[in-house]
Chain A
């Protein structure tokens, strides 16, 4: 199943924070145009996997290919330039920049997307941001910040969008709004890697799932298989 031809190909990835190893040989793929997920309980290594891919934490060993190019141990800005757009856990929008500035400051189309993201398109995806465009980042609600973080990543025209806990701590309605946007993005052909806990929503939206348990991949399969195996859901996800 793992194939170096995938858009993102992670193989046998190992990462440690100081003396304590966190990832023990994580492997998975994200195909072009696909929506994939990383699932698992808290502390199982999902965010560390993402941070390893993005070059934010140093990895011990393994390979990470993006579009056939090795990207492991590149500095994070080079990884981003290669076409990975991370919406980080905790959103981390720039509080001292306005909504509009947050979007414009780091916008880029390095991989020559035929239909590059524009402010108008971002505002169409999240109309609320248009109303708030003159406000500073730290004056937004949590949901609006999340929308801004997603839109900011999209403005770099990423070939793979990575959402790390994008709906964490949000009200159900806002959460639904975010998932709706993700579905719209998928329909437009955007490849997405989602880290989240909402199995119900994700089996509807995503194509493929990888479950992590204590830094190891313990299950992977498609949405139908995940939805069918309540046993897996119960054992690894606690639902």
Chain B
């Protein structure tokens, strides 16, 4: 337990100090890279809430990344740059879409649940492509980054970094609280034994739906941050491979573990960056090696990378 705490503190300290080090060595690229990684960590954290704790294998989580992104880009396109308003719309729209998708998909389970969530996300993806007014297939340059008043200047790479960092830590804590609340207990209980949860007086449906909506809204925040990060929106935000990528992060880091999704996002994206930057065979076929790595982790680390950490226990 203690070793874990130390590791967590070291990790947080590293991320807190990274921009200072990067600035000192004039390697600003790394601020951008880590920021991107943390945005995906946020998306993975939100997916883990329903996938890891709720057992809902949503193969459409990138939908909310896209909705958060479109909320910002479309408003900005029409000259509305108020970042708080944009955030409200991003979160609200994501929650609403999650409510609709969840209300239908949670009635099913297993392979059907996966297919329905995937199908909805594909619909949204093609909707994005058909929106010619907003760039269609080519995408849309973000007219201006979200204006958060004097609070945070998203144009400032370091300030934006710390905002993403703060959101990630806040979500980590929030999910920890949700999972250990009674609401979270029912979610976990119905994951392990749905029939039993029913027989003891709980219909899992409303609980699952609520978790699904919370996860969608949280991922909407990631989309909000992501479009500000790239300053460019494309329907690819919602591409199904993106959903798969987020799911990989969760599985790699450790399904149903608190810090696993963050770990997974870091390892997957940094490895991707490392391998694709190499020359020769590895650089050309880097996906091959990532795939191999994933297979090995799934085979030999049942609880993902988080399960390899010292003091990793079954409960967390």
Contact residues of A between 73 and 120, Cβ < 8 Å to B:
75-77, 79-81, 85-86, 88, 92, 94-98, 101-102, 104-106, 108, 110
- Looking at the assembled complex, report how far the CB atom of B212 sits from the nearest CB atom of chain A, in whole angstroms: 19
- Given A77-B199, A77-B202, A77-B203: A105 and B185 interface contact (C-beta under 8 Å): yes
Verify if B188 is at the interface (C-beta below 8 Å from A): yes
Identify which of A77, A96, A101, A102 contacts B198 (C-beta below 8 A): A77
Q: Is A152 located at the chain interface by the 8 A CB criterion?
A: yes
The answer for the CA separation of A152 and B200 in the assembled complex, in Å, is 9
Bound Cα distance A93, B24 (Å): 55
Across the two chains, which residue of chain B brings its CB closest to A85?
A: B200
Question: Which A residues are in CB contact (< 8 Å) with B202?
Answer: 77, 80, 106
Known: A104-B182, A105-B182, A136-B315. A97 touches B189 (CB 8 A): yes
A156 at the interface (CB under 8 A from B): yes
Q: Is B285 an interface position by the 8 A CB rule?
A: no
Q: B201 to A81, Cβ gap below 8 A?
A: yes
A105-B186 contact given A95-B192, A136-B314, CB 8 Å threshold: yes
In this complex, what residue of B is CB-closest to A100? B185
Bound: A79/B199 CA distance, A:
8
A98 and B182 in contact, given A77-B198, A106-B189 (Cβ under 8 angstroms): no
Interface size class of A (residues with CB under 8 A): 20 to 34
Establish whether residues A56 and B192, one from each chain, have CB atoms under 8 Å apart when the complex forms: no
Which of these, A54, A94, A153, contacts B192 with CB under 8 Å?
A94
Q: Which residues of A contact B182 (CB under 8 A)?
A: 104-105
Q: In A128-175, which residues have CB < 8 Å from any B CB?
A: 136, 152-153, 156
A96–B191 CB distance below 8 A:
yes
Q: Are A97 and B196 in contact (CB under 8 A)?
A: no
Question: Do A88 and B188 touch (CB < 8 A)?
Answer: no
Chain A residues with CB under 8 Å of B309's CB are none
B198 touches A94 (CB 8 A): no
Q: Which residues of A contact B188 (CB under 8 A)?
A: 94, 96-97, 101, 105
Most chain A CB atoms below 10 A, which of B196, B256, B315: B196
Chain B residues 75 to 96 lying within 8 A of chain A, measured CB to CB, are: none
Cα distance A94–B195 in the bound complex, in angstroms: 11
Q: What's the nearest-Cβ distance from chain A to residue B209, in Å?
A: 15
Quick check: B192 and A96 within 8 Å, CB to CB?
yes
Q: In the complex, what's the smallest C-beta–C-beta distance from B229 to chain A, in angstroms?
A: 35
Do A94 and B193 touch (CB < 8 A)? yes
Q: Is B197 an interface residue (CB 8 A)?
A: yes
Closest chain-A Cβ to B211's Cβ sits at a distance in Å of: 14
Expressed in whole angstroms, the minimum distance between the Cβ of B203 and any Cβ of chain A is 5
Interface string of B173-213 (1 = CB under 8 A from A): 00000000010011011011101111111110000000000
The one of A54, A75, A101, A108 in contact with B203, judged by C-beta atoms closer than 8 angstroms, is: A75
Contact check, A54 vs B199: say whether CB atoms are below 8 A apart. Answer: yes
The answer to whether B201 touches A88, judged by C-beta atoms less than 8 angstroms apart, is: no
Q: Are A88 and B196 in contact (CB under 8 A)?
A: yes
Distance to closest chain A CB from B253 (angstroms): 18
Shortest Cβ gap from A205 to chain B (Å): 24
Q: What's the least CB distance linking A66 to chain B, in Å?
A: 13
Bound-state Cα–Cα, A81 to B199, Å: 9
Most chain A beta carbons < 10 A, residue from B182, B198, B200: B200
Q: Are A56 and B195 in contact (CB under 8 A)?
A: yes
CB distance from B201 to the nearest CB of A (A): 4
Q: Which of A209-230 contact B (CB under 8 A)?
A: none
On A, residues with C-beta under 8 Å from B are: 54, 56, 75-77, 79-81, 85-86, 88, 92, 94-98, 101-102, 104-106, 108, 110, 136, 152-153, 156
Name B residues whose Cβ lies closer than 8 Å to a Cβ of A.
Answer: 182, 185-186, 188-189, 191-193, 195-203, 256, 314-315
Known: A88-B199, A136-B314. 5 other contacts (CB 8 A): A56-B199, A77-B202, A86-B199, A97-B189, A110-B201
Closest 3 CB pairs of A and B: A105-B185, A80-B201, A77-B203
